[in-house]
Amino acid sequence: MTPREAADLLLAGRPRVPAVAAAEAYAPANIALAKYWGKRDEALNLPTAPSLSVSLGPLGSHVRLSAAEPGAAHDGVSLNGAPLGPETAFARRASAWLDLVRPDPDFRFELQARNTVPTAAGFASSASGFAALAKAADALFGWNLPMESLSVLARLGSGSAARSLADGFVEWRAGERADGMDSFGVPLPERWPSLRVGACVLSSREKPVGSREGMRRSVSSCPFYGGWPGLVARDLAALRSAIANRDMALLGATAEANCLAMHALMLATRPPILYALPETLGTVRAVWAAREEGVPVWFTMDAGPNVKLLFEEAAEPAVRSRFPGATVVAPFA
């Protein structure tokens, strides 16, 4: 099934022409505590395993979407106030998603995106961007889709966007259907106001292997990739229990172990994928040293060299003094 076919299936019976002149939407970025690494369908971004994240509240993406003037040659796309040419990577990805909902081949959109995720802070903005875009399209066309359907639409842009439709903790169900209609983010009811996430930016260099290519390589060549879905299932059970009981030690230890297992998959991929830099390992060891000295702090890492810290409000002064460069976020504030 193609992404356009999946979108058509989802939008069957819904209006396909704009209902209002323009629509605006916001979605938060998210950080995974149990990671997404591998697809069962690359075109539809269907994962081999579920994942679980926490949304980052005020850090995310604002999107304004409207119809362009008739006769426009291409979609008008701007990011943080700067117009982008149609050949830029950002505009191409945005237009590819807009193709899924385009009323007719000559219809052009005007899309303004603004990130409150600081570009240099080490949090990804593609998840919040596609989630906000799906919400803005829902408002522009007057679909009134439920959150599950918006999550499916956002997933067609970027897998992790399936988790950015809601605040707080979100579990992305892997689903079993070939059309992916059962693969969407489901928010957990629990809130955890004292939880903190800190981002330590160690390098802003371009990553050596994009996550799309990296996942493809790991699924096809990592000799123990087959163990990943089972490991995620166990980690998800532990995370659900940690969240229900506000058990920071269990949440931190599980997130840390899950991320290291993902990086182990990457290392055992052929050819190998190594995102860590010397500074990454230095920060990992500094987190372990802090814990040995009684500071309750854990880490997670994504497809890059930066390290994210997980801790509670009470540990914030100690964490800030040991990691002075960290950008600290309160996801439930």
Work out whether 51 is an interface residue with ligand 2P0 (CB under 6 A): yes
- Closest approach, Cβ 24 to ligand 2P0, in A, equals 24
Work out whether 183 is an interface residue with ligand 2P0 (CB under 6 A): no
Rounded CA-CA distance 174/182 in Å is: 8
Choose between 144 and 204: whose C-beta lies nearer to ligand 2P0. 204
Work out whether 171 is an interface residue with ligand 2P0 (CB under 6 A): no
Work out whether 302 is an interface residue with ligand 2P0 (CB under 6 A): yes
Written as six digits, the tokens of 41 are 């369908």
Work out whether 115 is an interface residue with ligand 2P0 (CB under 6 A): no
Select from 76-84, 152-160, 227-235, 317-325 the region that touches ligand 2P0 (CB under 6 A): 152-160
Under rule CB under 6 A, which residues in 238-297 are in contact with ligand 2P0? none
Selected from 159, 185, 252, 331, the binder of ligand 2P0 by CB under 6 A is 159
- Closest approach, Cβ 292 to ligand 2P0, in A, equals 27
Choose between 123 and 143: whose C-beta lies nearer to ligand 2P0. 123
Work out whether 173 is an interface residue with ligand 2P0 (CB under 6 A): no
Work out whether 228 is an interface residue with ligand 2P0 (CB under 6 A): no
Strand partners for 289: none
Work out whether 125 is an interface residue with ligand 2P0 (CB under 6 A): no
Work out whether 61 is an interface residue with ligand 2P0 (CB under 6 A): no
Cα angle 235, 236, 241 (rounded to 5 degrees) comes to: 100
Under 8 Å between Cβ of 23 and 139: yes
Choose between 207 and 246: whose C-beta lies nearer to ligand 2P0. 207
SS3 per residue for the chain? CCHHHHHHHHCCCCCCCCCCCEEEEEEEEEEEEECCCCEEECCCCEECCCEEEEEEEEEEEEEEEEECCCCCCCCEEEECCEEECCCCHHHHHHHHHHCCCCCCCCCCEEEEEEECCCHHHCCCCHHHHHHHHHHHHHHHHCCCCCHHHHHHHHHCCCHHHHHCCCCCEEEECCCCCCCCCCCCEEECCCCCCCEEEEEECCCCCCCCCCHHHHHHHHHHHCCCHHHHHHHHHHHHHHHHHHHHCCCHHHHHHHHHHHHHHHHHHHHCCCCCCCCCCHHHHHHHHHHHHHHHCCCCEEEEECCCCCEEEEEEHHHHHHHHHHCCCCEEECCCC
Work out whether 198 is an interface residue with ligand 2P0 (CB under 6 A): no
Selected from 92, 93, 212, 320, the binder of ligand 2P0 by CB under 6 A is 212
Select from 31-39, 76-84, 85-93, 314-322 the region that touches ligand 2P0 (CB under 6 A): 31-39
Selected from 6, 18, 35, 331, the binder of ligand 2P0 by CB under 6 A is 35
Work out whether 40 is an interface residue with ligand 2P0 (CB under 6 A): no
- Closest approach, Cβ 303 to ligand 2P0, in A, equals 4
Selected from 211, 258, 269, 280, the binder of ligand 2P0 by CB under 6 A is 211
Question: Which amino acid is present at 248?
Answer: M
Nearest to 36 by CA among 23, 46, 26: 46
Select from 158-166, 246-254, 282-290, 317-325 the region that touches ligand 2P0 (CB under 6 A): 158-166
**Interacting residue ranges for ligand 2P0, rule: CB under 6 A:** 32, 35-37, 45, 51, 126, 158-160, 211-212, 302-303
